[in-house]
Every structure is written in C-alpha cells, then in structure tokens.
Amino acid sequence: MATVVLIGTLDTKGVEYAWLRDRLRAQGCAVLLVDTGVLPPPASAPAADVTAADVARAAGHDLTRLRAAGDRGAAVAAMAEGAECVVRDLHARGELHAVLAAGGSGGSAIAARAMRALPIGVPKLLVSTMAGGDVGPYVGSSDLTLGSSVVDIAGINSVSARVLGNAAAAAAGMARHHEQELATPAAPGRTVVAATMFGVTTPAVDAARARLAELGHEVLVFHATGAGGRAVERLAAEQALDGVLDLTTTELADELVGGVLSAGPGRLTAAGAARLPQVVAPGALDMVNFGPRETVPERFTDRTLYVHNPAVTLMRTTAEEMAALGTELGRKLAAARGPAEVFWPLRGVSALDAPGGPFEDPAADAAGRSALGAALEGTGVPLHEVDAHLNDASFAVAAADRLHQLITVHRKS
C-alpha cells in the first residue's frame, strides 16, 4: 500500500490534519502522521505516528527545553531540522511514497525543509497560505509542488474542504504512481548529461544537445536563471548525472555584480566535488540580469544596457568584471576533483556579444580569458581557445565531443 507522510503542527492544525488523514485513507493510502508542533497538542488532535518529541530528538534537540526556552524562531528551526531527519529516514527505509503538508508561514517552513531534503522524483505537495508571495525559499532547487490554500488553514469550511480535498487526492495519486515506479525494474538507461542554457546561448546548446543525443546521452537542459543553476548543482551533488556541459555560466555574473539571477556562491562547485566530468564555457558572462528597465539600480544608469523584453534588462559586464569572473571560473575549476576543461570562444560569448551586436566588447572578453588562463596555470585544467562564436555549431559540437570523451574514460576508470 502506498504511504503518504503527513507533516504538520498538530498543536494548531489538529482538526485539519485529522481531516486530511481520513481523506488519504479513503483514497486507499496508508498514512504516517508526523507532528512538528512545539506546544502540547489539544486533546482533540489526532495521535501522531511520529510525535513532536520524536521529531525534536531526531535532530538532537529536547522538546521540553525548546518549550521552556520560549524562542519560537529557534524552536521552528529545530523542528524543521528534525522533520528533515525523519523524512530522510522514512525514505531510506522505503516507508514514504509522497509527502503532504498544509500550513501557514511556520508550518510551511518546517514542511518545505523536510520536502527539499528528498530526492527529485519523490512526490512533495505543500498547501500554503504563503503561496502567493516569493516562494523561492520554500521550493529551492527541489521539485516541490506548492499550492495556495486560498483561505487560512483554520478549520474545514466550504473552500478549504475543496482545496485540501484536491490536495489529498493529488498526493494519494502521486503516492500510488511512485510506489508502482519503485516496484518496476528499471530499464538500462543512457548516461545523463546536464546542459545549461539561456536565450542568448540557445543555438549552442541545441547543437550540443543534438550531438550528445547522437552519441547516446540523455541531455537535461536547465535554464540558467538561478533556480536552474541550483538544480544542476543539486543533481550533481546527488550523483544523478554522468557529466555536465556548462555552456552557460551567466549566473556567476549575477552573483558577482548583484543581478537578480544568481545561483548563489556554490554555483560551479558540485560537479567537481562529485568527481563528475565537466566541460565549461563562458556563455553569457557578458551580461548581468535585472527586471524592467526602471528596476536597474541607479548606480548602473551609465552602463551599457539592453532591454531584452519588458520584464528583463541586461547589462554588459566590464573588462574589470570579466577579469574577476575569469578568475572565479578558474578558481572553482581548479578545485575540481574530477576531469574539467574549459572551451572559450574567441568571437563572442552570447548572441548579443557578436560582431556588430550591442554587447560586442573584445577587450572585456579578452580580460576574462586572460584572467582565466592565469588562474588555471599549473592546475592541469585545459583551456581550449576556439576561433568561433559560442553559438557556432562547430564550437558547440567540439565541446560536446570532448565531454563525451571525458565521460567515456571516466566510466571505464
């Protein structure tokens, strides 16, 4: 029987979780109820299969002390840590086929951390009052499905019954499907390669993807908008990839300069730490991303700007910034524990950085290339300078062919 793990604060949401548990059981699923509340639940609350004390203990905390301290923020953080430990353990034991939660800001933060800890592909559904705002902190790089509760999670009424009823039916269906997937012997799969892409590097990635598919690889393409880069790092850390074709490293520019699409300081580190083969290029390092033109910070008003569309304004990186990016690229690849190589196109790094293009700046590109070469000197990481534009098929195919060679050798070692 498929098992749905319900994660909730029974000190405040006991009625709602009893209702959800009953709906899941009516859908033919087993239910494990995990209590992440800090205060003692009322007598009307359902009995938890994993108590709040169990949750706190899973992360090395004592529930009585958390209650006595009176620090709600610290208590929520402790219970979130414990919930993560609990679901990891349940998943490892094969006792979890989907996770469902419903809550406000605190309950959502706890449940979301637990859900994010599970591998991609494990069903995760969170119904939250916070779904209408910035959901990035809840979702992170996971495949968590976030739905709006519309009304507060405060009793079962004509609206919440529909919303939560749909959530229970969805979680039950996903759990059954996931259980069937786990019971089905996996067919021999192709090697899996991650490729990073932006609108201005699409021709390169399309050509490389076609070449890698021809060579027998499955290619997962990630939009380098921050979330995409974080997803690549996560999959690499989870050893879910056989190699990375990082043609679009633009997120490093946003992290350096302060754009809106940074993937964080950990970008371009996981593949190296996991010893995965990687071929890297400076795709779209010529640009930093902002929102509508009026949102560009005032300190950048005298810079070269390009309105990509009404919602996206791009700023050309300077020679100094390109040099810093080249150094950063080199530093991260020099730390790689697996095979890593760089392909640098001498005729431009994006569709805008082309002869006659709005971001054409050979001096800035040269500053980045020179700094990268200096950072890689003596590291053993090759730097291939290719007399082509990044979006030329010849460049993309050369990078793809080299990654194929690295993966082939790596799998034999």
Domains and CATH numbers, the chain: 3-183 (3.40.50.12020), 191-412 (3.40.50.12030)
Q: Considering only CA atoms, which of 350, 20, 357 is closest in space to residue 172?
A: 20
Q: What is the C-alpha to C-alpha distance for residues 205 and 197, in angstroms, rounded to an integer? A: 6
Tell me the whole-structure pTM to 2 decimals.
0.82
What pLDDT, on a 0 to 100 scale, did the predictor assign at position 34?
98
CA angle 20, 25, 26 (to 5 degrees): 95
What pLDDT, on a 0 to 100 scale, did the predictor assign at position 187?
66
- Residue 61 corresponds to which tokens in the numbers above? 């905390």
Token look-up 């090697």 returns 191
What pLDDT, on a 0 to 100 scale, did the predictor assign at position 190?
84
Three-class SS of the chain: CCEEEEEECHHHHHHHHHHHHHHHHHCCCEEEEEECCCCCCCCCCCCCCECHHHHHHHCCCCHHHHHHHCCHHHHHHHHHHHHHHHHHHHHHCCCCCEEEEEECHHHHHHHHHHHHCCCCCCCEEEEECCCCCCCHHHHCCCCCEEEECCCCCCCCCHHHHHHHHHHHHHHHHHHHHHHHHHHCCCCCCCEEEEEEECHHHHHHHHHHHHHHHHCCEEEEEEECCCHHHHHHHHHHHCCCCCEEEEEECCHHHHHHHCCCCCCCCCCCCHHHHCCCCEEEEEECCCEEEECCHHHCCHHHCCCCEEEEECCEEEEECCHHHHHHHHHHHHHHHHCCCCCEEEEEECCCCCCCCCCCCCCCCHHHHHHHHHHHHHHHCCCCCCEEEECCCCCCHHHHHHHHHHHHHHHHHHHHC
Encode pLDDT of 39-71 as tens digits.
999 999 999 999 999 999 999 999 999 999 989
Which parts of the chain sit beneath pLDDT 50?
none
Q: What is the C-alpha to C-alpha distance for residues 156 and 25, in angstroms, rounded to an integer? A: 17
Q: What is the C-alpha to C-alpha distance for residues 360 and 363, in angstroms, rounded to an integer? A: 9
Q: What is the C-alpha to C-alpha distance for residues 261 and 104, in angstroms, rounded to an integer? A: 27
